Amino acid sequence: MAVVNAAEECKANIPVCVHLDHGETLDYIGKALEMGFTSVMYDGSALPYEESVQNTQQAVYMAQRTGASVEAETGIVP
């Protein structure tokens, strides 16, 4: 929350983005969005591919409601 507050209070001349990197659960993504994060990265790489894709779709739906952007990692690079 401190980072979100700092971004809101910095009075920058440009937009400030607060990004959650490698959120591994939808609950964690949801909490970040509720706190005001403007960008999230859903990391479903440890899950089976189909489950990872389904969760990514849910993360996108959740982020759309707040206007946040989403990055996702749905698999692994061997």
Catalytic residues: 21
DSSP 35: H
Query: Which structure tokens are listed for 50?
Result: 């189909």
**Which of 54, 22, 6 is closest to 62 using CA atoms?**
54
Which one-letter amino acid corresponds to residue 50? E
